[in-house]
Structure 1
Amino acid sequence: MRRWLLLGGAIGLEVSASLALKAALDAPALHVLVVAGYVGSFACLGGTLRAGMPLGVAYGIWGATGVALTAVLSTALFAEPLTPLMGIGIVLIIGGVLLVELGSQAAHRRRGAATAQDGAR
């Protein structure tokens, strides 16, 4: 559970930093929030990896979720476009992340079963 909380923190901080970067164009003082958000995001991502989440899964979820959330929130906060084609892309991102996570879980189960068989010999 801890690794998922850390990953959620990494995603939230990265998205906040990205949105603050856009807002900093008009308010340069927000660059402090940008730096703090990215540093905090990488620290949380490192904690996620230390907690045992595989790199491919953690990075895939972090990156893809960040892209999707930033696109949606930039529409709400900055009136940037969100076209149907972009929506399809976001759905594909979510699907890709789910497939990576499911594949990782299946590989972990297979590895555990193989280890158990080796131990029984």
Structure 2
Amino acid sequence: MNGYAWLGLAIVAEVIATTALKASDSFSRLGPSVITTVGYGLAFWCLSHSMKTVPVGVGYAIWSGVGIVLITAIAWVLFKQRLDAPALLGMGLILAGVLVINIFSRSAGR
């Protein structure tokens, strides 16, 4: 499988795990706690496979940037987190950075 596909799976697993972490109530609820633990394990396993071909700096920038934006979107929908203009602007800049890396940088290793 392509390194970027592994990275995508790692991001999805991490987002699921982080969402479950909120629901685990400090690991006091069994179901969400298990999802959190398995999700983070799966996320790092997939991330390790992506690092075989994706440069570590680029991979981590994509992992963290996309993860931040997805988790914030989920928090907005599921947990009714409010987003003000500076938060939206900041996330837009994060997405712009990820896009610049992927579209214009030779460091992306493709």
State the TM-score, normalized to the length of structure 2: 0.87
CA distance in 2, matches of 1:11, 1:81: 23
CA distance in 1, matches of 2:87, 2:34: 30
CA distance in 2, matches of 1:103, 1:25: 41
CA distance in 1, matches of 2:16, 2:44: 13
Larger RCO, structure (CA 8 Å, separation 6 or more):
2
Which segments of 5 or more consecutive residues in structure 2 lack a partner in the other structure? none
CA distance in 1, matches of 2:109, 2:10: 24
Name the one with the larger helix percent: 1
> How far has the Cα of 1:105 moved from its partner?
1.9
- Counterpart of 1:78 in structure 2 is 79
- Counterpart of 2:92 in structure 1 is 91
Q: Is 1:11 matched with 2:11?
A: yes
State the TM-score, normalized to the length of structure 1: 0.80
The amino acid of 1:32's aligned partner reads: V
SS state at 2:89 partner: helix
Q: How many equivalent residue pairs?
A: 108
> How far has the Cα of 1:98 moved from its partner?
2.1
Give the percent of matched residue pairs that are identical in Structure 1 and Structure 2: 35
Which segments of 5 or more consecutive residues in structure 1 lack a partner in the other structure? 110-121
Q: Which has the larger radius of gyration?
A: 1
List 4+ stretches of structure 1 deviating above 4 A.
106-109
Please report the RMSD computed on the Cα atoms of aligned residues, expressed in angstroms.
2.1
